Every structure is written in structure tokens, then in C-alpha cells.
Amino acid sequence: MKIIGSLTEISRQAAKWQRQGLKIALVPTMGCLHEGHLSLMRQAAAVADRIIVSIFVNPIQFGPNEDFGSYPRQFQTDCELAEKEGVHAIFSPESKDMYGDSFQTKVHVAKLSEGMCGADRPGHFDGVATVVLKLFHLTLPDFAVFGQKDFQQLAIIRRLVIDLNLKVEIIGCPIVREQDGLAMSSRNKYLLGESRSQALCLSKAIQTARKFVAESQQQVPAATVISQTREIIAQAGGKLEYAVVVNETTLENETIVTPQSMLAIAVKIGGTVRLIDNARLFPEPE
């Protein structure tokens, strides 16, 4: 496995593989890899001949009061985990190389970035869209693999690819959870003591909502699902940032739960740890 920090070198390597007729899959990450990330690499291996994993804590997607400086980093461990999954190259550039002193350009996906996390984290998705587009240009992927936990991000990247006619297929992979239901996240490392069990309120709210929809004999108002979710989060002592029922493609708020409805939640646990989770509400087709 190659470890590459140079933008020029990763571009040359990707172009070489492309000339050889090899399919490339990119798995963009910010490091601190866990089983969720590893599942993305396995999916990449199923569709491509060469796998590139980017490890880059992207400064332009963090707000001024967010955790850029303290975001968990474990580069050596990450490299070992990726190599065990058969990854062919780690791309880990420096911020100064990705964004020079005169960097002025950002990518803005307008409508999809307005609500949910976009409302609470202004500019966040501009930073995401910008770095993803740069990664696509540098690594020349035929496929890019993302997790569905960052549900809004995935929708924005799909829109970016369509709108800019990019020749990359976006693959979304299911959320990977701990045995107790907590969605895997690099930020779970922040959860200490009681906050770890408190964080289960997100998955509990989702499970409750899905059960309610499955057992209902009539149309379910989105407001009812949101009210139940608020109550569960409040009982656990979490601080709800949002709970919405939206269409999985347009991210528009829905009034009635449909097969395309997603419940998406963002909660602060212990006052500082921001976690997100989501799930389709309607029972999956058999």
C-alpha cells in the first residue's frame, strides 16, 4: 500500500491506473477509522480494481467554534486498518497544499444544503462539496463510496455529480451500528461515562418511529413522529438540534410519512458531542 501526501503524485498514480484500464474507487474519510469506514472499503473492493482512501481532516468544513483542532486523529492505526482491507493507496495531503494562501473558490449546492445540518453549521456543506470535488479531480475515481449516516451530505454529493456532469458513480452504504444500536462515528470517542448510554437516545428514537409507522393502520403524520422523537431525546437529557421527516431525494419536509420518508436527527450529548442519525421510516420492501 502506498502512502501519498503529494497532490501531483496521487494524480500521476491515478492517471497511471486509468491508462492501464483499471477501475478506481475512492473512499473519502477524515480518518479515525472504524468498522463503518472499513465496510466502505469492502464495498469499494467489490466494484473496483484499485482503492484509494483519503485521510484528510478538512478545515474548511468546520465552523469557528467546532472541533477541528481536537478532531480525533490516529494516522498510523488508520493506515494499518486500511492495508488489512486491501487498500492500494492512502492519500493524506497537507491543508496548505489543498488550500494555498490565495485559495478563493468554494462549491455551493444551494437548496439541499439549506436545512438540517446546513442550518446549524453554515458553510459546512460548501466545505464538503469543495473538498470532494477536489478529491475527484485528483484521484480520477470511477466510483466514490460514502456512508449513509451523513445522509444530507450524500444527497448533496449526488446532486453535485449530476449538476456538474462528473463521470463518477456514487455508492451509498448502510449505517454500521454498535451492538447496542449506536451509529458508528469517529466522534463516539468523545463519549465518556454516562454520555455513552445517553447517546442511545438517537437510535431509540429511530426504532420507536419505525415501529410506530410499521404498526399504524393509517397514514402517519410527520408531526407525530417528530413529537415522539423530541420526547425521547428530552427524556434522555440530550439537546435536540433538529428532528425532521424529509423526502430522501429532495430533502424537502414531508407532512405524511411515505415510502420515501427519512427521519433525520441531530443531537448534542453532554452539551458538546454532536451526533447525527437517520433511517427510512417505512418498512423495507420484502
- Residue among 154, 171, 93, 99 at smallest CA distance from 130: 99
E strand segments, 17-62: 24-29, 50-55
For the beta sheet containing 239-247, the strands, ordered from the edge strand earlier in sequence to the opposite edge, are 239-247, 261-269, 273-280
For the beta sheet containing 24-29, the strands, ordered from the edge strand earlier in sequence to the opposite edge, are 2-4, 89-91, 50-55, 24-29, 143-147, 169-173
- Residue among 172, 164, 167 at smallest CA distance from 108: 164
From 37, 108, 124, 137, the catalytic residue: 37
Residue 37 designated active-site: yes
Listed in sequence order, the residues at least 6 apart from 144 whose beta carbon sits closer than 8 Å to its beta carbon are 25, 26, 27, 28, 132, 136, 157, 168, 169, 170, 171
Q: Which residue has the cell 477541528?
A: 68
| Helix boundaries (H) for 94-242 | 95-98, 117-120, 124-139, 151-163, 194-198, 201-215, 222-236
Task: Name the residues annotated as catalytic.
Answer: 37
